[in-house]
Copies of this chain bind each other. A is one copy, B any other.
Amino acid sequence: MAPEAARAVEAVLMVADGPVPPQLLAELLELPLAAVDELCEALRADYEATDRGFVLARVAGGYRFQSHPDLAAYVERFVLEGQSARMSAAALETLAIVAYKQPVSRAQVASIRGVNVDGVLKTLTSRGYVAEVGRDPGPGQAVLYGTTPLFLEKLGLDRVGDLPPLADFVPGPDVVEALEHGLRAGPPPGEGAPAPGETPTPPDDDEHGAGDG
């Protein structure tokens, strides 16, 4: 059976969201650096021999799991068909929460959305729409997120304060639904009409996706 150290490397690399420096692995496992490199090399060869769909790669000074290059076609489909459609409803809601409630912690966003938002926040961060803007002074010192200048630029806003004000009351789902429809089909009565041509017909905006992500 696989030795504990090799299994620990697999576990840590699995939850890491970026390349893990071998020094850090050595520290976690209390092993010499050379032993870590040996372990990783053995794992890499193992995955290759058993023809896994992923590889253990050495990137940017660290180790990480990534998809096997010869399966790129599937990953691309996932990005284009699944991921993008799925992401945009989930990402848009997450982005909206960050925009209106900034600075806001990951836990606060998760509590509003009722789902784990780690992945989505990471995506938004990697796209440059959202960034860490500070730390909660309270215990735990949670990272606080806010929107970036790129976000403002993309939305054609001068500053965050220019976001449309939220209604004083929280409308029921039917109202939101109507609002959504209105935005899709055209300006609803009483809503500020979007500029012509700006009326989005978002291909990817489905309210069913709200729960996943």
- Give the interface segment out of A5-13, A160-168, A177-185, A191-199: A5-13
Question: Are B131's CB and A114's CB within 8 A?
Answer: yes
Let me know if A119 and B77 touch, CB within 8 A: no
Chain B minimum-CB-distance residue to A71: B11
Give chain B nearest CB distance to A36 CB in angstroms. 13
Q: Are B52's CB and A114's CB within 8 A? A: no
A18 touches B112 (CB 8 A): no
* Chain B residues, Cβ within 8 Å of A115: 18, 60, 128, 148-150, 153
Q: Is A53 an interface residue (CB 8 A)?
A: yes
Distance of A15 Cα from B69 Cα, bound (Å): 12
Task: Give bound CA distance, A170 to B211, whole Å.
Answer: 26
The reply to whether A8 and B126 contact each other, CB–CB distance below 8 Å, is: no
Per-residue contact bits, chain A 113-152, to B (CB 8 Å; 1 contact, 0 not): 1111011101101111001000000001011000011100
Range, interface on chain A: 35 or more
Residues 72-87 of chain A, each 1 if its beta carbon lies under 8 Å from chain B, else 0: 0011011101111010
When distances are taken between beta carbons in the complex, the residues of chain B under 8 Å from A150 are 110, 114-116
Whole-angstrom distance between the Cβ of A107 and the nearest chain B Cβ: 8
A15 to B82, Cβ gap below 8 A? no
Contact of A7 among B12, B51, B83 (CB under 8 A): B51
Task: Answer yes or no: A14 CB below 8 A from chain B CBs.
Answer: yes
Q: Closest 9 CB pairs between A and B?
A: A17-B119, A10-B53, A114-B148, A7-B53, A111-B128, A11-B67, A11-B71, A11-B53, A8-B74
Interface residues of A, Cβ cutoff 8 Å to B: 1-2, 6-12, 14-21, 24, 27-29, 50-54, 60-62, 65-68, 71, 74-75, 77-79, 81-84, 86, 106-107, 110-116, 118-120, 122-123, 125-128, 131, 140, 142-143, 148-150, 153, 211-213
Selected A-B contacts with CB under 8 Å, 7 pairs: A10-B67, A11-B54, A11-B75, A17-B122, A110-B150, A115-B149, A116-B149
